Chain A
Amino acid sequence: DAGVTQSPTHLIKTRGQQVTLRCSPKSGHDTVSWYQQALGQGPQFIFQYYEEEERQRGNFPDRFSGHQFPNYSSELNVNALLLGDSALYLCASSFPSGSLYEQYFGPGTRLTVT
């Protein structure tokens, strides 16, 4: 059973560009969350998608947007990249109505903005 997968593994972009990161949840999971992990810090919640809608959003600007597809996979889009957007972006998935369940994390996408 494949776990959470993310692509690409690494990405280098220039300030001002736009980037799209992709995530496929663990089999059977329908909820996808995105986190940003800056160097030396713990992951910070960006937003969560359930039933193809954004369920909740963390303290991130509108430059960060997302989408969930009918197969539960998800994309994270970041526009007008800033140097401070350089981080490891983690996708996590969980079971339906997952209040009691842990989130399973993918390996992450390392984004470097130059």
Chain B
Amino acid sequence: AQSVAQPEDQVNVAEGNPLTVKCTYSVSGNPYLFWYVQYPNRGLQFLLKYITGDNLVKGSYGFEAEFNKSQTSFHLKKPSALVSDSALYFCAVRDPMDSSYKLIFGSGTRLLVRP
């Protein structure tokens, strides 16, 4: 069965420091991987995706993620955190063999960037 794990409920980082939000997945075959961000009382906003190709994917707002097939991970990173990055982050996986293209989400990680 497909699954996504976000092992940290919350990540705390000081503004200006690098941040990492962790994600591991379990999918048979080659997965499609996504990161979304959710601000309070808002829907999910797409940040970036990995389909194929370069393992380092660059996305919106300076975020990037590294796909590691051997570790089945897709960690979200940013070199210098901003207070405005504070939000709820979701990792999601899609099985490319699934005709519905449904997303399987992790439980989310709350990022808190302190000034």
Q: Please, which residues of chain B bring their CB within 8 A of the CB of A42?
A: 4, 90, 92, 105-108
Residue among B36, B43, B101 making CB contact with A106, cutoff 8 Å: B43
Count of chain B residues with a beta carbon within 8 Å of a chain A beta carbon: 26
Q: Does A78 contact B (CB under 8 A)?
A: no
**Docked-complex contact A90 and B101, CB < 8 angstroms:** no
Q: Please, which residues of chain B bring their CB within 8 A of the CB of A102?
A: 34, 46, 49
- B-facing residues in A92-106 (Cβ within 8 Å): 92, 94, 98-100, 102-106
**Docked-complex contact A55 and B43, CB < 8 angstroms:** no
Count of chain A residues with a beta carbon within 8 Å of a chain B beta carbon: 28
Given contacts A43-B44, A92-B44, 11 further A-B contacts (CB under 8 A): A31-B101, A42-B107, A45-B104, A48-B101, A55-B99, A56-B102, A90-B44, A98-B101, A100-B51, A104-B46, A105-B36
- B residues whose Cβ falls under 8 Å from a Cβ of A: 4, 32, 34, 36, 41-46, 49, 51, 90, 92, 96, 98-108
